[in-house]
Structure 1
Amino acid sequence: MTHHTDPAAAPAVLAGRDLVFGYRAGDPVPVFSGVTVEVPAGSVLAVLGPNGGGKTTLLRLLAGSLTPDAGRVVLDGTEVRPTRRGVGELRRRVQLVFQDPDDQLFSASVAQDVSFGPLNQGRPEPEVRERVAWALAALEIADLADRPTHLLSYGQRKRVVLAGALAMRPDVLVLDEPTAGLDPEGVEALLATLGGLRAAGTTLVISTHDVDLAHRWADHAVLLDRRVLAAGPARAVLTDPALLSAARLRPAWGPAVGAALRAAGAVPATAPDPATPGEVIRLTR
């Protein structure tokens, strides 16, 4: 495993330590074994790797929807006990949003769906109404409150599920392939929304195949293929061609363009790698 140390990283709000998990008891080839991941508070952690590498399994373990066969999940420095109370507290503070919104939508209307979690926690109705209104506004879908969920577009359904997670007021949002299935405009809109949550102090964990997205947007990155291949600051991990090849991922666009611009003398040798086409224009002016 390769670590790129980051002295500026905040203490971990969530961690998995020496995790072992297989979907069948006694599976001779578990999904992974000995996996350790740290999630710095207030940051965006991207988990990248090939299909079948264990990304979704790791996210489900960190969020408490799966229980590790061995190893520990740690929340704010305290090990999560495999009891109803321990797992319940983990699920309250760490909200998981699946890749397919239809796996989590089940109420007749948007407002009913978003209110389900807080109501299930026994929150008073006035507080639930306030949470629902806040979450819908944060996701810019307040006008959809009374809309039947079966009449929503795919992008709208993704936002409703995310609003349902936000209504729980979690410390950590765990998002499995949050941009999958969205068109470019939908991706940018979702990233703007998540950026607002990030600025407000919410810790985000995302799984993705999109190296460009992670390079542009994440603070830290983990490369996972049944084991941790690398972990550290995103700009260090995702500019290492050998590591990306080992994780069966293509190189990020930004570092390749940055290297070409510097080699051509179009930008100073110390110029940073661009993250978007707009940054290329800004760097070359």
Structure 2
Amino acid sequence: MGAAVLSGHSLRFGYEAARSVPVFASLDVEVRRGEVLAVLGPNGGGKTTLLRVLSGSLTPQAGTVRLAGDDVRWNRRGVDRLRRSVQLVFQDPDDQLFSASVHQDVSFGPLNQGLDPGTVRERVAWALEALEIAALTEQPTHLLSYGQRKRVALAGALAMRPSVLVLDEPTAGLDPAGVESLLRTLEGLRAAGTTLLVSTHDVDLAHRWADRALLLDREVLGVGPVREVLADPSLLAAARLRPAWGPAVGRALREAGLRAAEAPDPSTPEEVAGITGG
């Protein structure tokens, strides 16, 4: 992992109806180049609000957002630069899709950037291929399954070629096979150099997939390597999260003499089966 590609410093934000009680009042966060940073916490703790501030869809009332070390200016040019580099994909794809066909929806962002038609075609084809939905290019968006709509929304963000992809509950509403398929796709994007900032309630997903975890409940409760943060019972209790099963299984395996003391905790059932011979 490299230096911070996106960061927030002393961020404050409150919604109009409750500005006297902000969602967060002095929040610091750093997203490092090439990592997966998982943001976890209870409902109402500020996860989605933080993602929207860092991606430019909400303007902080105080504090600074920095992109590649430069302060974001909250004028039209500054916000446009931020949004080109940091793409937010909402939890519900129907909040993001609005065009008649898949191709039209995915091409909207690049066209809006004023790119030439050849570049737009290239970006759309690449994004659809990366999300494994090239066969859907002419399909009406309203006829797609929920999982397919999730992938189209993600393809629309990818077509903008962002340096940071921001995902709000990316696996919500997907069945187990859909989750595994999406994770393989996202791992491919990360391997190709995309930085991922992800909010999730799923501690097992974060433990398995993320590099670092940030626990948030209107303030940062803890941040650090995911397997350290999610193995801390006091931090999890403060964030109103249940323990991840990986650390619990790891402790049981070590107590049974099936896992070396220094070995990392397992993150998938397949790992456990390999250890136990099951």
- TM-score of the pair, normalised by structure 1: 0.96
Q: CA deviation at 1:269?
A: 2.3
Superposed counterparts of 1:175-254, under 5 Å: 175-254=167-246
State the partner residue of 2:150.
158
Match of 1:59 in 2: 51
Aligned with residue 137 of structure 1, among 108, 129, 134: 129
How far did residue 271 of structure 1 move? 2.4
Instruction: Report the counterpart of residue 61 of structure 2 in structure 1.
Output: 69
Q: Distance in 1 between matches of 2:12 and 2:156?
A: 30
Find the aligned partners of 1:268 and 1:71 in 2 and give their Cα distance: 45
C-alpha distance in 1 between matches for 2:229 and 2:258: 25
Instruction: Decide which moves more: 275-284 or 250-259.
Output: 275-284
The one of 8, 12, 22 equivalent to 1:20 is 12
Query: Which residue of the partner structure matches residue 78 of structure 2?
Result: 86
Give the alignment partner of residue 251 of structure 2, picking from 241, 251, 259: 259
2:88 to 82, 96, 100: 96
- Alignment partners' CA distance in 1, 2:129 and 2:214: 32
Q: Is the 8 A contact 1:267 1:284 kept in 2?
A: no
The residue aligned with 2:103 is: 111
SS at match of 1:198: helix
Cα deviation digits, residues 214-267 of structure 1 (max 9, x gap)? 010000110000000001111111110110010000001100000011111122
1:49 has 2:41 as partner = yes
Contact 1:174–1:206, Cα closer than 8 Å, also in 2: yes
Secondary structure class of the residue paired with 2:7: strand
Looking at structure 2, the residues matched to 64 and 199 of structure 1 have their Cα atoms a distance apart, in angstroms, of: 25
Shift in Å at residue 115 of structure 1? 0.1
Per the alignment, residue 28 of structure 2 pairs with 36
Identity of aligned residues (%): 74
- In the TM superposition, structure 1's runs of 4+ consecutive aligned residues that sit over 4 Å from their partners are none
Please state how far the C-alpha of 1:27 moved relative to its aligned partner.
Answer: 1.6
* DSSP 3-state at the match of 2:38: strand
Q: Return the offset for 1:24.
A: 1.3
Q: How many residues align?
A: 277
Q: Is the 8 A contact 1:15 1:73 kept in 2?
A: yes
d(CA) in 1 for partners of 2:48, 2:274: 37
Q: Quote the Cα distance in structure 2 between the aligned partners of 1:182 and 1:26.
A: 33
Distance of 1:163 and 1:26 partners within structure 2? 35
Letter in 2 for 1:164: G
Q: Which whole-Å CA distance do the structure 2 matches of 1:268 and 1:58 have between them?
A: 39
- CA deviation vs aligned residue, 1:88-131 (integer Å, no higher than 9, x gap): 00000000000000000000000000000000111101110110
Q: Structure 1 unaligned segments of length 5 or more: list them.
A: 1-8
Post-superposition offset of 1:281: 1.6
Q: How far off its partner does 1:25 sit?
A: 7.2
The farther-off stretch of 233-242 and 158-167 is 233-242
Superposition TM-score, scaled by structure 2 size: 0.98
Q: State how far apart, in whole Å, the 1-side matches of 2:71 and 2:24 are.
A: 20
RMSD in angstroms over aligned alpha carbons?
A: 0.9
* 2:16 counterpart SS class: coil
